[in-house]
Amino acid sequence: MKASELRGDYSRAGSDYVVEQDWPGYSPEEHALYRKLFERQSKLVPRYACPEWIEAIAGLESAAREIPRFDRISKKLRVATGWQIVAVPGLIPDDAFFTHLANRRFPVTVWLRRPEEFDYIVEPDVFHDFFGHVPLLFDRVYADHLYEYGKGGLKAMRLDAVRMLARLYWFTIEFGLMKTPAGVRAYGAGLISSGGELAYCVDDPKPQRLPFDLERIMRTEYQIDRYQERYFVIDSFEQLMRETAPDFTPIYAHLRNLPLWT
């Protein structure tokens, strides 16, 4: 994603890429589109989202009718897990992104997709970031994992291993599945916020559903513009935390020369 193609307004972003959310700047049409997206996903999440996400969204009912005010959500989030959300113009460079996570700040895009992008959008917008990512920041173990991920990202930059680490983020935070007594459920933000992939990732027999395997994940390429051909399934956020706790340095060294799984 070259900066020139990105659609957000980066002109007022500081060195940490944080901007004002400018909540009064949203039009009634934008709030209505956000509400339509929220209502569409609300029909699906009871059946397909993991219990932790279902539990967290219950405390965010203010975010159902209109685009949420980040400062108000941050106030609640700080109390729950010590995190806050910061407004950004869209995708930001890795070092800024990792630095925010390593300080318990989650970057949330300020702009909302256009009506014709109702079913699919390439870059994360406020609906993907807020509905997909923010609720799980209220879960202590998930939030602690994301904090460790941020610190690990800064280290991966020093080791030139961001590409391998980004695959971990992709197959967990964005497209992760979790085992539950009722069957697999989605916790990845890209799934939770998707009109079509949320049911597909749980119900469709086509994609592979593999047990979480850190080294397999770090060697598995992914496509960003279509439904995933494989998902990785964790037992719990505790397992995700445990399996990603070790120092990745020797793993990066070992994997660097191995062929990729496609």
Nearer to ligand HBI, 43 or 158 (CB): 158
CB of 262 to Fe ion, least distance (A): 22
Structure tokens at 249: 């340095």
CB 13 within 8 A of CB 88: yes
Q: Does 189 bind Fe ion (CB under 5 A)?
A: yes
* C-alpha dist (Å) from residue 259 to 116, 219, 262: 39, 7, 9
100 Cβ partners below 8 Å, 6+ apart?
A: 16, 86, 106, 107, 150
Of Fe ion, ligand HBI, none, which one sits near residue 83, judging by CB under 5 to 8 A according to partner kind? none
Write out the binding residues for Fe ion, residues 123-142 only, by CB under 5 A: 124
Minimum gap (Å) between residue 128 Cβ and Fe ion: 6
Residue keyed to tokens 């925010």: 100
3-class SS of residue 20: coil
* Residue nearer to ligand HBI on the CB measure, 64 or 166: 166
Q: Is 128 a catalytic residue?
A: yes
Nearer to ligand HBI among residue 199 and residue 255 (C-beta) = 255
Q: Is 117 a catalytic residue?
A: no
Q: Which is nearer to Fe ion, 224 or 253 (CB)?
A: 224
Active-site residue (options: 52, 74, 100, 128): 128
Residue 132 touches ligand HBI, criterion: CB under 6 A: no
Distance CA 83, CA 85 (A): 7
Examine the residue annotation and report whether 11 is marked as an active-site residue of this protein: no
Look at residue 189 and give the partner it binds from ligand HBI, Fe ion, none, a contact being a CB closer than 5 to 8 Å depending on partner kind: Fe ion
Of these residues, 30, 52, 74, 174, which one is catalytic? Answer: 174
List 30, 74, 145, 193, catalytic entry:
193
Interface with Fe ion: number of residues (CB under 5 A):
2
177-180 and 183-186 beta bridge pairing: antiparallel
Burial class (CB in 10 A: 0-12, 13-18, 19+), 242: middle
166 binding ligand HBI? (CB under 6 A): yes
Q: How far is CA 60 from the centre of its chain?
A: 17
Q: Per CB under 6 A, which of residues 72..101 are in contact with ligand HBI?
A: 88, 91-92, 94, 97
CA dihedral 212, 98, 128, 143 (to 10 degrees): 60
Closer residue to ligand HBI, CB minimum distance, 97 or 237: 97
For residue 84, how many C-alpha atoms fall within 13 Å in the half-sphere facing its CB?
13
Contact status: 85 vs Fe ion (CB under 5 A):
no
From the list Fe ion, ligand HBI, none, which binds 141 (C-beta under 5 to 8 Å, kind-based)? none
For residue 96, the surrounding DSSP H or E stretch is helix 94-101
Contact of 54 with 61, CB cutoff 8 Å: no
Sole residue written with tokens 């961001």: 162
Q: Is 100 an annotated catalytic residue?
A: no
List of residues contacting ligand HBI (CB under 6 A): 88, 91-92, 94, 97, 107, 124, 166, 169
Which positions are catalytic? 128, 133, 174, 193
List of residues contacting Fe ion (CB under 5 A): 124, 189
